[in-house]
Amino acid sequence: MESLVRNMRIIWRAELLIIEAKLNVAAKRIGATAFAGLIFIFGLGMLNVAGFFALEEIWGPVYAALGVSIADFLIAALLILWASRLTTGPELELAREVRDAGLEELEAKAEHIQDEVMAVRDELLALKKSMASFSRNPLDSTINSLLTPILTLLIKSLSKSKN
């Protein structure tokens, strides 16, 4: 029973590690996406103004605004692409292996317990049969249990007397 509880704790801890790893990645993705959004907003605000004024003299007002906005969109797209490619580390795979090993051991223990229960059931059925037989004919079962040792002794004594 103690190993069953230990296996359940191991499985529980492994599941917690898996959930924690997934939550960490989700938090990083959300943070990176939010940061990309923040850069997008500030990029459209401050950097656009600065870039616009710098490019206005070279390209003119229309092309300067277009160039600055394209640069902002590219930066935001790169950050979103980076955030979407974040994955869990090797600790997630290790946690899954520990969980699977715990489940396998738990299944083996359950099969062992089931075999023990079936053996106890078979013994109880045999006991029930013998009790039913004894209750129907108590003299027969007593004679059978005494007759075997008596016959064994008789056979031994007869074989000794011949020798």
Query: What does the pLDDT average to over 46-58?
Result: 83
Query: Is it the case that residue 83 has pLDDT exceeding 80?
Result: yes
Query: What does the pLDDT average to over 43-50?
Result: 78
Average pLDDT taken over every residue of the chain: 82
Amino acid at 21: A
The per-residue pLDDT for 68 is 80
Q: In terms of pLDDT, which residue wins out, 128 or 35?
A: 35
Q: Quick one: pLDDT band at residue 77, thresholds 50, 70, 90?
A: very high
The per-residue pLDDT for 1 is 65
Determine the distance from the C-alpha atom of residue 8 to the mean position of all C-alpha atoms in its chain, rounded to a whole number.
Answer: 10
pLDDT in tens, 99-111: 888 888 888 888 8
Query: Is it the case that residue 124 has pLDDT exceeding 80?
Result: yes
pTM over the 0.85 mark = no
The per-residue pLDDT for 128 is 78
